[in-house]
């Protein structure tokens, strides 16, 4: 067969027969001997040793002629056809076919490590049938197995780790993976793959609470507030987050439902409003924070109404307020903002009467910030009624800026007409006198309702911010732990001291930094001065 697996079309010796066929016509008459024997002798002399001048030729001594095969050899036996199941012969194998013989299995494993020079290599195994020295009769003994090569010891810079109890290891942080190429202390095999990148520094540590013990409640919401189809308009979200940047300051605001309210399924009683009135340099930013009464059923509705109504009152007078802030008219600002606050609380009392509730059952503490969008104006105005906190962070130290309000009964000094003194129209027995006629008016026979409790004092403060200051306005839920837990104040001072203000997510995480014993709603407003 040919290299392509085909059978030859003619016999292998046809070329020889065609060359020396006696029936072929002669090439022509010639004087030289041109018989078949002459041609054979000439060819044998040309290819034989004698024709090359070697030994046994005409010019050699005592040489013998090489045996020349008879050209007229009998034809080769016919080739037997190969069965389909028989492997092809080596001469008939195609280039893409595997060589004849049984295929040997190939080992894909890595080559064995070279033996240590300190370990003596075993003697070579003699071939079958060869006698071993020192044996007399019987089969030669089996060769001894070579001693195992010990694994290389681990490098010195990766010491074996001591085993610890499972409970102790579970409390620790996960260990960092060993770098690529390092050897494992147990198996001595190199760890494959590139070494993972080391984690970079985080802007916020994974601190969830401060104090000696964790808070009682879970950090995440547990139950949703119950509602009815008619109360869908009064629903409040668990968390509110907002922010802005105007002039030289950056604003961050967040309101979060307290841990106890999340556990009991109560709505968030704190309300937050961030709004801008006007445009360009005449714009005025208002941030209002309201906290409903703790034991009132509709406290969240009262807080939302207080924010909405004070926002509407400021919005209608924003142009005049923005001008007073830029001009620094402190007295005008205080009197004007107090009137707007009184009107908002008047609407709260009217709303309580519509609902058939007492005024103290439908009220809320209100604290507001007014910020001008003018880059040249750094005056920050605070006003409000009720509890909460106003703090300033300067050079890493907190300062409480809450305006001082005299306590009830702490008024000192001489009586002043209209404040703490009897009316000039009253007589010695408390009867009202008619000034023009001098006739004493008898007391009224009707029983009047008791006077309403004294209202909360109005708070006002206007201050000039410096570059690098941080102003914090917050509700009672954050003001109380700031004043009562120094660890919380130190942690927030460390997080908010860098010049760059935190992002919205980071500010929300800082607001939710919990302290045991303080589980009320938290609302905070931060202003970072550039």
The domain segmentation of the chain, as residue ranges, is 239-402+455-529
Helix (H, G, I), strand (E, B) or coil at 365: strand
Percent of the chain with pLDDT over 90: 39
Average pLDDT over residues 465-488: 94
Give the confidence band of 338 by pLDDT, cuts at 50, 70, 90.
very high
Q: How far apart are CA 244 and CA 421, in angstroms?
A: 49
State the CB neighbour count (10 A cutoff) for residue 435: 8
Determine whether 324 is exposed, middle or buried from the number of CB atoms within 10 Å of its CB (0-12, 13-18, 19+): buried
Query: With a threshold of 0.75, does the pTM exceed it?
Result: no
Percent of the chain at pLDDT exceeding 70: 54
Q: What is the pLDDT of residue 158?
A: 41
Q: Per-residue pLDDT for 17 more than 90?
A: no
Q: Other C-beta atoms within 10 Å of 200: how many?
A: 6
User: What is the Cα–Cα distance from 404 to 392, expressed in whole angstroms?
Assistant: 16
pLDDT of residue 162: 44
DSSP letter string, 259-307: HHHHHHTPPP-EEEEEEEES-GGG-EEEEEEEEE-SS-TTHHHHHHHHH
Under CATH, which number does the domain 239-402+455-529 receive? Answer: 3.60.40.10
Query: For residue 511, is pLDDT > 90?
Result: yes
Do the Cβ atoms of 302 and 363 come closer than 8 Å?
Answer: yes
- Whole-angstrom distance, CA of residue 247 vs CA of residue 325: 14
The single-letter DSSP state of residue 521 is -
Query: Mean pLDDT across the stretch 11-16?
Result: 66
pLDDT tens, position by position, 186-231:
333 333 444 444 443 445 555 677 877 778 787 788 889 888 888 8
Identify the residue with better confidence: 200 or 235. 235
State which of 8-22, 169-183, 237-251 shows the largest mean pLDDT. Answer: 237-251
Output 168 or 477, whichever has higher pLDDT: 477
Instruction: Supply the pLDDT for residue 242.
Output: 96
Question: Would you say 496 and 470 are in contact if contact means Cβ atoms under 8 Å apart?
Answer: yes
Write the CB contacts of 53 (distance below 8 Å, at least 6 apart in sequence).
59, 60
Q: Residue 274's closest CA among 528, 525, 529?
A: 525
- Pull the structure tokens for residue 103: 């295929």
Q: Rounded to whole angstroms, what are the CA distances from 279 to 204, 322, 454?
A: 35, 11, 39
* Per-residue pLDDT band at 232 (split at 50, 70, 90): confident
User: What three-state secondary structure class fits 83?
Assistant: coil
Q: CA quadruple 284, 287, 292, 293: dihedral positive or negative?
A: negative
At 400, list the tokens: 């409480």
Residue 430 above 90 pLDDT? no
Widest distance between CA atoms in the chain: 189
Residue 278 tokens, joined:
């006007």
Among 244, 240, 261, 291, CA closest to 479? 291
20 or 527, which is more confident: 527
pLDDT of residue 237: 92
pLDDT at 408: 55
The mean pLDDT of the chain is 73
pLDDT class of 15 with cuts at 50, 70, 90: low
Cα(157)–Cα(182) distance, integer angstroms = 9
pLDDT confidence of residue 84 = 61
Q: Is the pLDDT of residue 168 over 60?
A: no
Whether the CB-CB separation of 528 and 250 falls below 8 Å is answered with yes
How large is the average pLDDT for residues 469-484?
Answer: 95
Q: Dump pLDDT digits (tens) for 116-159.
A: 444 444 555 555 554 444 444 445 555 555 556 555 555 444 44
Q: How many CA atoms lie within 13 A of 93 on its CB side?
A: 11
Instruction: State the pLDDT at residue 160.
Output: 45
Give residue 174's pLDDT.
44
In this prediction, residue 152 carries a pLDDT of: 54
Average pLDDT over residues 336-341: 95
Confidence of residue 499 (pLDDT cuts 50, 70, 90): confident
- What's the average model confidence in pLDDT over 462-482? 94
Q: Which tokens hold the place of 91?
A: 């001469």
pLDDT digits (tens, 9 = 90+) for 313-335: 999 999 999 999 999 999 999 99
Mean pLDDT score, 268-291:
95
Nearest to 51 by CA among 61, 39, 37, 41: 41
pLDDT band for position 48 (cuts 50, 70, 90): low
**Is the pLDDT confidence value at 278 over 60?**
yes
Lowest-confidence segment of 85-99, 204-218, 504-518 by average pLDDT: 85-99
Whether the pLDDT of residue 83 is over 50: the answer is yes
- Average pLDDT on 235-257 reads 94
With a cut of 60, say whether residue 461 has pLDDT above it. yes
């Amino acid at each position: 067969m040919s290299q392509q697996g085909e059978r030859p079309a003619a016999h292998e010796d046809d070329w020889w027969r065609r060359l020396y066929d006696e029936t072929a016509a002669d090439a022509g008459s010639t004087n030289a001997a041109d018989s078949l024997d002459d041609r054979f002798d000439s060819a044998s002399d040309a290819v034989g040793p004698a024709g090359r001048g070697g030994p046994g030729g005409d010019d050699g001594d005592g040489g013998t002629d090489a045996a020349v095969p008879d050209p007229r050899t009998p034809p080769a036996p016919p080739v037997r056809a190969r069965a389909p199941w028989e492997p092809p012969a080596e001469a008939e194998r195609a280039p893409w076919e595997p060589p004849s013989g049984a295929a040997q299995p190939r080992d894909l494993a890595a080559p064995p490590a070279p033996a240590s020079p300190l370990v003596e290599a075993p003697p070579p195994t003699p071939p079958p049938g060869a006698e071993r020295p020192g044996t007399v009769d019987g089969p030669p003994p089996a060769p001894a197995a070579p001693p195992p090569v010990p694994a290389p010891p681990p490098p010195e810079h990766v010491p074996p780790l001591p085993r610890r109890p499972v409970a102790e290891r579970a409390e620790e942080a996960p260990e960092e993976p060993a770098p690529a190429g390092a050897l494992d202390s147990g198996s001595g095999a190199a760890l494959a793959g590139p070494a993972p990148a080391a984690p970079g520094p985080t802007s916020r540590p994974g601190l969830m609470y401060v104090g000696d013990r964790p808070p009682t409640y879970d950090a995440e919401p547990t139950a949703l507030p119950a509602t009815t189809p008619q109360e869908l308009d009064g629903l409040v979200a668990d968390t509110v987050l907002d922010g802005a940047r105007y002039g030289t300051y950056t604003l961050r605001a967040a309101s979060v439902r307290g841990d106890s309210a999340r556990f009991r399924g109560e709505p968030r009683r704190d309300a937050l409003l961030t709004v801008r009135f006007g445009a360009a340099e005449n714009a005025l930013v208002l941030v209002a924070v309201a906290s409903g009464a703790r034991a009132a059923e509709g406290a969240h509705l009262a807080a939302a109404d207080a924010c909405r109504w004070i926002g509407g009152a400021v919005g209608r007078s924003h142009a005049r307020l923005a001008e007073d802030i830029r001009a620094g008219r402190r007295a005008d600002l205080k009197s004007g903002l107090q009137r707007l606050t009184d009107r908002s609380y008047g609407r709260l009392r009217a709303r309580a009467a519509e609902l058939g509730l007492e005024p103290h059952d439908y009220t809320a503490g209100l604290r507001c910030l007014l910020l001008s969008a003018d880059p040249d104006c750094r005056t920050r105005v605070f006003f409000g009624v009720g509890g909460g906190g106003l703090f300033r962070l300067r050079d890493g130290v907190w300062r409480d800026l809450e305006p001082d309000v005299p306590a009830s009964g702490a008024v000192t000094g001489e009586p002043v007409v209209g404040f703490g003194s009897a009316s000039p129209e009253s007589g010695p027995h408390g009867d009202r006198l008619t000034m023009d006629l001098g006739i004493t008016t008898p007391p009224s026979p009707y029983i009047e309702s008791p006077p309403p409790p004294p209202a909360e004092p109005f708070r006002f403060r206007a201050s000039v911010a410096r570059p690098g200051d941080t102003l914090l306005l917050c509700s009672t839920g954050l003001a109380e732990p700031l004043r009562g837990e120094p660890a919380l104040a130190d942690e927030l001072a460390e997080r908010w001291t860098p010049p760059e203000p935190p992002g919205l997510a980071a500010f929300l995480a800082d607001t939710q930094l919990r302290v045991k014993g303080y589980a009320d709603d938290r609302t905070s407003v931060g202003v970072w001065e550039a």
